[in-house]
Amino acid sequence: MKVMTYKDAYTLGIAILQREDLCELLRQLDSCKKEIGRIALDMKVENRLMIRDGLQELTALGLVSTIIHKNVKPMQIEYALTNRGAKFLRAVKTIWETGEEIRKEYGAI
C-alpha cells in the first residue's frame, strides 16, 4: 500500500478499511503486543508470511511498531499498536458497531 498513490486521507483510510486482513491484525494488537506466532495462532492462520507482510504494511503506515529483543535467544520480535494505530482502530470499532446496530435494526442479524 503506497500512501502517495492516494489523493486524500479519506481514500487512504477507506483502502485500509477494505483490507479485512489489516483490520484483523490491528484488532489482534488491541490489548497487547504480540509475536507473529501468537498472532497466527489467535487468527488460526498457518501462513505467517501473509501476517508478516500485513504487519510490514501497517508498520510502514505508522499504525504498528516493531519491538526487537536482541538480548533474548533466539531473538524475539514483537509488534504493538502505535498511538496512531490505536486511534485508527477506535474509528474502525465505531464503524463496525454502528454497522451492527443498523443490521440489527433492519433484521439482518
Could you report the per-residue pLDDT of 35-78, keeping only the tens digit for each?
999 999 999 998 999 999 999 999 999 999 999 999 988 889 99
Give the mean model confidence (pLDDT) for residues 77-91: 95
pLDDT over 80 (residue 109)? no
Residue 77, strand partner residues:
68
Question: Judging by beta carbons within 10 Å of its beta carbon (0-12, 13-18, 19+), is residue 102 exposed, middle or buried?
Answer: exposed
Q: Global pTM?
A: 0.85
What is the per-residue DSSP string for 46-74? --HHHHHHHHHHHHHTTSEEEEEETTSSS
Query: Mean pLDDT lowest for which of 9-13, 26-30, 35-39?
Result: 9-13
What's 76's DSSP letter?
Answer: E
Secondary structure E strands in the chain: 64-69, 76-81
Q: Is the pLDDT of residue 108 over 90?
A: no
Domains of the chain from N-terminus onward = 3-105 (1.10.10.10)
